[in-house]
Amino acid sequence: MITRVTHQSIQRNTLANLQGNLTAMSALQSKLSSGKNITVPSDDPAAASDMLQLRGDQRAISQYQRNTSDADSWLTTVDSALTGSLATLRRVRDITVQGGNGALGTTSREALAAELDGLRSALLAQANTTYMGRTVFAGTSDAGVAFDASYSWTGTGAPVERRVGADATVRVDADGAAVFGTGAGSVFQLIDDIATTLRAGGDPTSSLGAVDTRMDAMLNQLAGVGARHKQVLDTQSALLGDALDVKAHLASVEDIDLAEVILELQTQEVAYKGALGAGAKVLQPTLLDFLR
């Protein structure tokens, strides 16, 4: 059976092919101008699904990075406060040893006691250290201070934590009661008692054991803070690597190969121009062509 070919059918096929070429060129130009392989999910549903998953991973990593940055700041603040407190308590110990000298006169004892009062005030200020308006030694308490005027701890006992991974959290505060004690058993009351002993002419060296015990408690807390701080810093480094990996993976799915797209566009332009030339020769002649 012989299929009849007419000028009209040739015209329709030629125009359809030209339209197909134009559509392909438009898609390539859109990729070239946007720099993206996928502008709507229908361009590549499977790749679009991967993109959504990767963008979700990016948002999660970004949140974990913010959390670790906040945890870093908290733990740095706690570390500085504990280091300063240890230095203050070492000076208290030195004064306690010095106060055991029986040859000290009343004036000297009063001077040492006055210095202890200043050290106690400085230590209390360090115990009430805050970060962004939050006390770092009182857990989740909103009392404003970790220790009040009577040296009582106002903390709740609930730790402040930051999530630094899908299955990982880290504590960013320190237990003020464990570090400084509370009430009559606090390091502040201990310093007051040593000052009182000095003013009364007694021997304060009997309190050296208590001072050493409190220093050991501070050192233990400082070691714990250091370990958690290292965990946070290691997590920050790991998250940075994860962020770069996800970004590279997303770029491989989403971004175009510029050289490849330019080459394809040039090839499509040549094909389109060739199709135009061929179409001009086969399309139905006009009346003017018959009048030549």
Q: Are residues 238 and 261 in the same domain?
A: no
Q: Are residues 80 and 160 in the same domain?
A: yes
**79 vs 74: CA distance, rounded Å:** 9
Q: Are residues 28 and 78 in the same domain?
A: no
Q: Are residues 174 and 280 in the same domain?
A: no
The DSSP secondary-structure symbol of 168 reads: E
Average pLDDT over residues 146-165: 92
Residue 192, pLDDT > 70, answer: yes
Report if residue 54 sits inside a domain.
no
Average pLDDT over residues 72-87: 96
Question: What are 204-238's pLDDT values in tens digits?
Answer: 999 999 999 999 999 999 999 999 999 999 999 99
Q: Is 164 helix (H, G, I), strand (E, B) or coil?
A: strand
Q: Are residues 98 and 118 in the same domain?
A: yes
Q: Are residues 194 and 78 in the same domain?
A: yes
Q: Are residues 113 and 141 in the same domain?
A: yes
134-158 as b/e: b if 16+ CB within 10 A: bbbbbbebeeebbbeeebebbbeee
**5 vs 10: CA distance, rounded Å:** 7
Give me the number of domains the chain comprises. Answer: 2
Residue 183 structural domain? 62-250
Report if residue 2 sits inside a domain.
no
Question: What are 93-121's pLDDT values in tens digits?
Answer: 999 999 988 888 999 999 999 999 999 99
β-sheet bridge partners, residue 169: 163
Q: Are residues 172 and 101 in the same domain?
A: yes
Please state, rounded to an integer, the average pLDDT across all residues of the chain: 85
Q: How confident is the model at residue 43 (pLDDT cuts 50, 70, 90)?
A: low
Residue 260, pLDDT > 80, answer: no
Question: What are 3-33's pLDDT values in tens digits?
Answer: 666 666 766 776 776 676 767 666 766 666 6
Q: What is the pLDDT of residue 47?
A: 74
Q: Are residues 105 and 245 in the same domain?
A: yes
Report if residue 49 sits inside a domain.
no
Q: What is the pLDDT of residue 157?
A: 80
Q: What is the pLDDT of residue 198?
A: 93
